[in-house]
Amino acid sequence: MGSLESLNPATGEPIGTVETIEPAAVQAAVDEIAEVQPFWAELAPADRGRYLERAAEILAGDVEEVARLLSSEQGKPITEAYTMEVVPTVDGLRWVAAEGPGILADRPVKMGGGLFTGKRVAHRLEPLGVVAIIAPWNYPWSIPFGETAIALMAGNGVVLKPSELTPLLGERIRVAFEKAGVPEGLVRVAQGGGEVGRAVVESSVRKVFFTGSVATGYAVGAACAERMKGAVLELGGKDPAIVCADAELDNAVAGIAWAGFANAGQTCSGIERVYVVADVAEPFLAGIRAAAERLAVGDPGSWDTEVGPMISEAQAAIVTELVDDAVAAGAERLCGGPVDRPGSPGSWIAPTVLAGVTHEMRIMREEVFGPVLPVVVVEDEEEALALANDSEFGLGASVWTRDRHKGERMARRLGSGMVWINDHAYTHAAIQTAWGGTGDSGLGRSHSRFGFYECCEVKTVSWSSPRARDFWWYPYDETLGRAVRAATGLLYGGAGPRIKVLREGGGSLLRTGARTLRGGR
């Protein structure tokens, strides 16, 4: 084993170390989880829920500690640490515990009359076994925490691979569940770099939940397919916002500024493209520029800081390159850009607004992952919809309008997994709602009842009376054939044909019915 040091992105100072695992040892760790998991799976869902309720109670008392750790290790402003990550997971635990038993309950299937009279069938959700969660650095608490909670509620064990940039938060997730009494060893943390992540994917885990880059997501999906296991992939985003001519501009400016600049723009579902109808373009641009210039860039541990540091110098360089490329191609930087903070060696970018952007620029095609809002002026909402859908990504989108019905019509035409009208991205904090996208934004869904389904095998369980045989069993003969033909007419034909059916096939029906009850020839 080696060690991994965690650094504060604002100051560069070390804040802690964790032990790493060798890739060759990952399978043994998964095997150890698999030894514990069956005992957990034997608990009734309501009993598992009580552990999660206890976890919510304990975490509510630990909110300040976790928020401070999140702010120092990831660089998220302390207010966002509370509102965007820690508090939503407390609420999420309570929902998982309360609703999980109902979601996981057997679902009877209505068989109706006719062919399957007397059959009793149900769909049962059963645990997969051990699942893997490979977490990102941008939301290193809320993303893996919610996925872990649902996986545990469904009866699984979990191996969690945190980002090497936020290892302490990964360890703290394990502690949060063990403090609530979840069996030790049911949640294991595999610390390390890409080779450890690859070993996790290639291990005997039954499913992989991966959040990260498109390129790595494709590789994870391919590796899972080769091993006949499932994968839920939440990859990149290039979320558009459409500002309609009838938008409430003050509200649109405030919401789009938050969704574009929160977490220093390092959000998969952050707004990275704005399409504003020409009728309101001038006041919108003036408003969004003023909103960006008002935001305080600084120490993420301070209550009044609104934009913290970039996670790394490398990420800041990507953002700067894309902005510079757009400006060189004719875009106008209205405000923002890299800034220096004396005594703070981290990488800082002030909220940036670009006007005069065209759809051919790289900044409109590639994921920026920084506090940048490129704005395109369009003639009307039809052009906005066409441009919004002109992307390989399809995570989220938003429409800003006073007209709810128009907003819902536009939502149906947007090619994304989620659409918010007069808001953006907030439902990630609401674990009862499904999360996921289309295209290069990924496969599958996390959160909600659909996230539960991703953590389960669906088993059909059927009961038939031992006192009767099915009519379609052997022997095959003319009597059976005539009876089946007659039954088709009776069950699915109109009233007129039924008289003819009974006259011609009634005897065969009676003989076949008697044979099924006797159980023989």
Same domain, yes or no: 228 and 344? no
HEC readout, 204-215 = CCCEEEEECCHH
Q: What is the Cα 403 distance to its own chain's centre?
A: 29
Same domain, yes or no: 174 and 87? yes
In which residue are the tokens 């007069």 written?
A: 422
CB 244 within 8 A of CB 400: yes
Same domain, yes or no: 269 and 225? no
Strands 271-277 and 207-211, bridge-based pairing? unpaired
Same domain, yes or no: 310 and 254? yes
Q: Tell me the CB-side half-sphere exposure of residue 380, using CA atoms within 13 A.
A: 1
6 domain-assigned:
no
Same domain, yes or no: 396 and 505? no
**Dihedral through CA 418, CA 315, CA 312, CA 74, nearest 10?**
0
Give all strands of the β-sheet with 107-109 in edge-to-edge order: 107-109, 120-127, 456-463
Structural domain count, the chain:
3
Q: Which domain holds residue 312?
A: 239-428
For residue 384, give Cα distances in angstroms to 269, 272, 404, 424: 18, 14, 17, 17
What tens-digit pLDDT sequence spans the chain (521 residues)? 799 999 999 999 999 999 999 999 999 999 999 999 999 999 999 999 999 999 999 999 999 999 999 999 999 999 999 999 999 999 999 999 999 999 999 999 998 767 788 899 999 999 999 999 999 999 999 999 999 999 999 999 999 999 999 999 999 999 999 999 999 999 999 999 999 999 999 999 999 999 999 999 999 999 999 999 999 999 999 999 999 999 999 999 999 999 999 999 999 999 999 999 999 999 999 999 999 999 999 999 999 999 999 999 999 999 999 999 999 999 999 999 999 988 888 999 999 999 999 999 999 999 999 999 999 999 999 999 999 999 999 999 999 999 999 999 999 999 999 999 999 999 999 999 999 999 999 999 999 999 999 999 999 999 998 888 888 888 888 888 787 777 777 777 665 565 666 666 667 767 766 777 665 55
Same domain, yes or no: 246 and 227? no
How many whole angstroms separate alpha carbon 133 and alpha carbon 162?
A: 8
Tokens of 199: 């070993």
Same domain, yes or no: 401 and 253? yes
Question: Can you name the residues that pair with 421 across neighbouring β-strands?
Answer: 399
Closest CA to 145 of 446, 383, 508: 446
Q: How many degrees, rounded to 5, is the angle at CA 133 between CA 130 and CA 134?
A: 140
12 domain-assigned:
no
130 domain-assigned:
yes
Same domain, yes or no: 249 and 224? no
Same domain, yes or no: 272 and 197? no
223 domain-assigned:
yes
Strands 130-134 and 207-211, bridge-based pairing? parallel
**Can you give the CATH number for the domain in which 325 is found?**
3.40.309.10
In which residue are the tokens 């965690």 written?
A: 6
413 domain-assigned:
yes
